[in-house]
Each structure stands twice: as C-alpha cells, then as structure tokens.
Amino acid sequence: MKRILFYLFAGVLVLSSCNSAGKTDQNRTGNAESEVAAISEPKKPAVQASADEKPETSSAASSSDGQEPFDYLEKIRVDDDILLKYNPSSTEVYNTKVTELPQNDPFYPQEEGPGLGNIKLVKTQIKPGGNYYYVVFSWGPSADPAFMFYEEGNTDRAAFYLSGMRLFIPGNGNVYVDGHTNNMFDTRRKLKLVNGSLNEIKQPFYYVGLKSHTVKPVKLYQSDNLNKVIASLPADYSVEVLINKPETDLYLIKTDFGMTGWLKLGENAFYGNEAIKGLYYAGD
C-alpha cells in the first residue's frame, strides 16, 4: 500500500512539472512573438505641420534662445536691415532692380523718378488659393522704406503699401511687418487678408523694448490718465521704454531702479527734440 501511494505522489509531481514547463514555454513564445511584432511593425511618420499650422509671431526680433522668427521660411535680404521672408511653395522669386527688368515688364520704369531704386522681389500668395501679388520694395522718396503689393493683372497701382524694414509672408493669410519707419519706434504689426483688404490685428499694446536714456527731464505718472506723478527723472537717466498704448503718445517706462510709470511724449516727438533718445517720429 505504501509503495502504491509513493508511485501516485511521484506521478503528480511529474505532471505538475510538465505543466509548469509548458506554460513557461508558451510565455516565452508569446513574448518572442510580441517582440518580433514590435520590431517588424513600421513606425508611423510624424505629422508635418503645414505653413498655416506653424506658430505665428508678431515680433520680428530674435527670441531669447537665439532662434530666428519664421525660421521655416525662405529669405531675401536687400541689405543688412531690409529683409523679406516668404513661403517657397507659393512664391516665384525675382529679386531684381526694376531698371534691370525686361522693358516689357510692368515694373520697368518708364521715366526718371524716385522709383528707379525699387526692387521687384517676388510674386506670392498671401493665403492658400488666393490671388497672387507682386511685392516690390521701395526706399521711398526720403529714406522711408516700404513694401508695395500689386495684384497680378492689376499692376497700375499698389493694392497695399506697408511701411517697414522687414516683411514676413507665411502664406497662411497673415502678413507681418516691422521697422522704425513712418512711426515712432520699431513697431511690430500683424495684418490679415480679408475680402481683398489687409486689416491690422489690433493689439492691446505695442511692444517697444527700447533701452535708452532721457534727453531732458521727464515726469512719470501712476496711470495713463496722468492724474498723479510718481517720479521725476533728470536728463541722461537710464530708462527702458516697455510698451505704447496704440494710437496715443503714452508710453510705459521702466526706470533704472525698476519702477514703472506712464510718460506722455507730447511735443517731444521728432528727431532732435526727443524726450528719450531714439523715441521719435521717423518719416515725413
């Protein structure tokens, strides 16, 4: 009887061992198959953002990390200060002085005048599927750089005229421009093409970012209603002009100490009569 019980117990142990080994083999096989599947399954490519999905910026200054704004666009540099960036997928490049164009070109000058220095830059779309526009750069009659847009098929007069020194056309319906020309400071603007018109996107404030100094004594106010003076600054005092309230001569100033207050520029708005060096109307 003891011998029978011994053989029964030994058989149970053998069966249990076989089942465990089988499960282990199955697990190994399953894991191997999973690993093979993971290796052999092709990776899905990353989705590339189109031009109208790329991040936008109204600033034409380089970012703090050194990345150039609209770095995915191609560029034409007229000189060290004048720049156009465009979407190459919807743009034909000329970058030719108008005096060097064929005489049958609509922008070839027919007479002497200030436009002889103009440059025909590109033909491009402002928005996908929209009309094409020629972009011509002009130095202006008295050093007032500007970009002129002529609609294809209607080159007798400019459809849009944007004063500025740098122009960005991503091709997504928006246009960006900046520069200290025909304005008080390097103004960064964003415009949107709507029903054949370029309409500026209103900002709560314009960023100025001018680090400079006072030319004459100025007063800073607690608010833009100018009710209470909070600081009187002497001439040659270090300041930073932070922002401008649009369509006014009111500027938020940061002192060298770190206080902020509002300045009303008033009559101190032209070159040679500035209250703050570099903050003046540049243009006619």
User: Which pLDDT does position 69 carry in this prediction?
Assistant: 86
Task: Give the list of residues 6+ apart from residue 201 with CB closer than 8 angstroms, or none.
Answer: 58, 174, 189, 190, 191, 192
Q: With CA atoms as reference, report the closest residue to 173 among 196, 207, 148, 204.
A: 196
Cβ-count burial 83-120 (b if 16+ within 10 Å, e if not): bbbbbeebbeebeeebeebeeeeebebeeeeebeebbb
Pairing relationship of beta strands 197-200 and 83-86 according to DSSP bridges:
unpaired
User: Which pLDDT does position 10 carry in this prediction?
Assistant: 45
User: Which pLDDT does position 30 carry in this prediction?
Assistant: 46
Domains and CATH numbers, the chain: 52-200 (no CATH), 206-264 (2.30.30.40)
Structure tokens at 214: 């006072």
Task: Give the list of residues 6+ apart from residue 202 with CB closer than 8 angstroms, or none.
Answer: 246
From CA 104, how far away is CA 95, in angstroms rounded?
A: 17
**pLDDT by residue, tens only, the chain of 284 residues:** 444 434 434 444 444 444 444 444 444 444 444 333 333 333 333 333 445 556 655 444 444 555 778 999 999 999 999 999 999 999 999 999 999 999 999 999 988 877 899 999 999 999 999 999 999 999 988 788 999 999 999 999 999 999 999 999 999 999 999 999 999 999 999 999 999 999 999 999 999 999 999 999 999 999 999 999 999 999 999 999 999 999 999 999 999 999 999 999 998 899 889 999 999 999 87
- Burial class for 251, CB neighbours closer than 10 Å (0-12, 13-18, 19+): buried
Structure tokens at 131: 């009309």
Q: With CA atoms as reference, report the closest residue to 179 among 168, 193, 169, 166.
A: 166
Instruction: Tell me which residue has tokens 């402002």.
Output: 126
- Sign for the CA dihedral angle at 213, 215, 217, 222 comes to negative
Break the chain down into helix, strand, coil percent, rounded to 5.
Answer: 20, 35, 45
Using DSSP's 3-state secondary structure scheme, residue 213 falls into: strand
User: Which pLDDT does position 65 carry in this prediction?
Assistant: 54
> Whole-model pTM above 0.85?
no
Residue type, 214: T
Task: Give the list of residues 6+ apart from residue 109 with CB closer than 8 angstroms, or none.
Answer: 98, 99, 115, 116, 118
Pairing relationship of beta strands 166-169 and 83-86 according to DSSP bridges:
parallel
Angle at 221 between CA 218 and CA 227, to 5 degrees: 120
